[in-house]
Structure formats: structure tokens, C-alpha cells
């Protein structure tokens, strides 16, 4: 069986984080805010231990596990379920987080655009759902359907946090759109000038690893027919969460058009 060395896994994860930070200014700050909210949830109720014992987090479109890893590292009692449809990134997440945290991380191969995605999850109570730089790939109708399903899965008091680029409307917010785009360009220019890989360069590097390369054809097949998605504005996210039964909604964190949405049942 083909495996990757821990050195290779750590290198690819670090490189992934670097290239993602090139596209997301203050990426670590928004992670820290999300993890802090989960820690606050644990410390303000007797349902969970202060270290996250008894708490299960669902990471939607978890990728290689960047957010899951920070949650598991900060709260050594928490369990995380990571679902993703990208076989390359899910394989990397399984290898990285499995080696570090054992069965505290469960990887699920599932497509959030499929109506029955939630049926693939383990039969456990989920208390928190999170996502980072991922749900913008969903068509608005599929996004609303995911929020509606989360409203059914999560118990009262359950929390949803979604960190993503929610672009300004260039027609009605032309100045804000320009300054946000300028900030994105500046962050990328500085990072890439310092040797940080681009998105395409990271994937070219990942493709040199036999364990990941074997999944590339499957990845291409899975996403080949996906049409471009329309941008879902902030207002649609918030209204969809209210419709899904979340009584408290709002922006937990914001930097230009990079937003962490919050909702609680």
C-alpha cells in the first residue's frame, strides 16, 4: 500500500496553508476567532468539558483539514467529522489528522451538493458546524439546502460558523469592491514575491506524490461537469440561516469582503 511520509504530509499541509493565506488576508485571525467561539461554548455549559470532551464538530468541505486541525489541537477532547468531495484533499486530511489525532478525526467522502449528503455522516449528535473558504463553490440553491439541513441536524444551542469571501456587489458597491480587490492583489503579490506557491503550483507539487496522484483522475471526473456558481451575497446567507431555524445570526468577524458568519439554534 502506498503511503506518504510524515515529512511529506507536513510539507504539503504547510505549503497549503501558505498558499491559502496568500488569497485570504488575516486567515489565521479568522481561524482563531472560530476556535475561540467553540472554546467559549465548551466553557459556558456543563454539557461539555472545557477541553471539548463530549463535543462533536462537523467541518463542511474540510479540504486538507486546516480548520479541523486547529480545532483538534486547541481542544484535545473534541471530535471532528470532516466531509469533502475532493478525494485528493480528503486523503491528505485523513493522513495528516489521523496521524496526529487518531480516531478523533473522521473523514467522510461526500458531496454537499447532493441532497442526501447528511446520510453519510456517522450517527452521532453534532453540536457545531464550521466551514472555511469552501461553501462559495455551492450554487445558491444548494447552499440554502445545506443550511436547511444543518437546521435539522443541530440541536437547540447548536452553532454554525462559515468563513468565506462574500464579495461586494460591484454594481451597488463599486468603491468597496475596488478596495477589497486591491487588498487581495496586494496580499497575493507580497506572498508570491516571497516564494509562496500559487494555487496551480501547489497542485502541481501535490501531483508528484503517488498516493495523491492516484486520486487526480477521480477528482477531475467528479468536478468536470460543475457549472460556474453564482455569488451568494451576505444577505442570502443570513436569511437562509433564519429560515433554517437559527434564532441568532450575524457576522462574527469581517475584513473587507472576507466574513465569518455565525448562527445559533
Hey, is 164 helix, strand or coil? Answer: strand
Q: Is pLDDT above 80 for 2?
A: no
Q: Is the Cβ–Cβ distance between 163 and 92 less than 8 Å?
A: no
Residue 61, C-alpha cell as written in the block? 468541505
Strand partners, 79: 56
Q: Following DSSP, what letter does each residue of 39-80 receive, concatenated?
A: HHHHHT-TTS-TT-TT-EEEEET-TTSHHHHHHHHH-TT-EE
**Which of these, 159, 176, 169, lies nearest to 71 by C-alpha position?**
159
Give 256's contacts (C-beta < 8 A, 6+ positions apart).
25, 176, 179, 180, 183
Distance CA(259)–CA(265), nearest Å, equals 20
For the chain, the maximum distance between any two Cα atoms, rounded to a whole number of angstroms, is 55
Q: Is pLDDT above 90 for 231?
A: no
Query: Which of 145 and 3 is assigned the larger pLDDT?
Result: 145
**Which of these, 249, 264, 229, lies nearest to 112 by C-alpha position?**
229
Q: Is the Cβ–Cβ distance between 257 and 176 less than 8 Å?
A: yes
Distance CA(263)–CA(265), nearest Å, equals 7
Q: Is the Cβ–Cβ distance between 192 and 198 less than 8 Å?
A: yes
Q: pTM higher than 0.75 for the full model?
A: yes
Percentage of residues of the chain with pLDDT beyond 70: 99
Strand partners, 253: 260
Q: Tell me the pLDDT tens digit for each residue of 29-88.
A: 999 999 999 999 999 989 999 999 999 999 999 999 999 999 999 999 999 999 999 999
Hey, is 3 helix, strand or coil? Answer: coil
Kindly report the average pLDDT of the chain as a whole number: 96
Q: Is 257 exposed, middle or buried (0-12, 13-18, 19+ CB in 10 A)?
A: buried
Q: Is the Cβ–Cβ distance between 49 and 42 less than 8 Å?
A: yes
Q: Tell me the pLDDT tens digit for each residue of 201-211.
A: 999 999 999 99
Q: Is the Cβ–Cβ distance between 60 and 138 less than 8 Å?
A: no
pLDDT given for residue 230 in this prediction: 86
Amino acid at each position: 500500500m502506498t503511503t506518504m511520509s510524515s515529512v511529506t504530509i507536513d510539507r504539503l499541509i504547510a505549503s497549503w496553508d501558505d498558499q491559502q493565506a496568500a488569497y485570504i488576508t488575516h486567515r489565521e485571525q479568522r481561524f482563531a476567532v472560530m476556535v475561540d467561539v467553540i472554546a467559549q461554548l465548551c466553557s459556558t455549559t456543563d454539557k461539555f468539558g472545557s477541553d471539548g470532551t463530549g463535543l462533536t464538530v462537523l467541518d463542511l468541505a474540510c479540504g486538507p483539514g486546516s480548520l479541523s486541525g486547529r480545532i483538534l489541537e486547541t481542544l484535545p477532547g473534541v471530535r471532528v467529522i470532516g466531509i469533502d468531495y475532493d478525494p485528493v484533499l480528503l486523503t491528505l486530511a485523513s493522513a495528516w489528522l489521523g496521524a496526529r489525532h487518531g480516531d478523533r478525526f473522521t473523514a467522510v467522502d461526500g458531496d454537499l451538493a447532493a441532497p442526501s449528503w447528511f446520510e453519510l455522516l456517522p450517527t452521532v449528535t453534532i453540536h457545531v458546524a464550521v466551514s472555511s473558504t469552501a461553501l462559495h463553490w455551492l450554487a445558491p440553491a444548494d447552499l440554502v439546502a445545506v443550511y436547511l439541513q444543518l437546521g435539522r441536524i443541530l440541536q437547540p444551542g447548536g452553532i454554525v460558523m462559515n468563513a468565506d469571501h462574500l464579495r461586494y456587489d460591484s454594481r451597488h458597491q463599486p468603491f468597496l469592491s475596488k478596495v477589497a480587490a486591491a487588498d487581495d492583489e496586494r496580499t497575493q503579490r507580497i506572498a508570491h514575491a516571497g516564494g509562496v506557491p500559487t494555487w496551480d503550483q501547489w497542485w502541481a507539487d501535490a501531483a508528484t506524490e503517488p498516493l495523491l496522484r492516484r486520486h487526480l483522475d477521480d477528482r477531475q471526473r467528479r468536478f468536470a461537469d460543475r457549472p460556474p456558481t453564482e455569488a451568494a451575497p451576505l444577505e442570502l446567507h443570513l436569511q437562509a440561516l433564519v429560515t433554517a431555524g437559527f434564532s441568532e445570526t450575524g457576522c462574527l468577524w469581517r475584513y473587507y469582503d472576507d466574513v465569518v458568519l455565525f448562527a445559533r439554534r
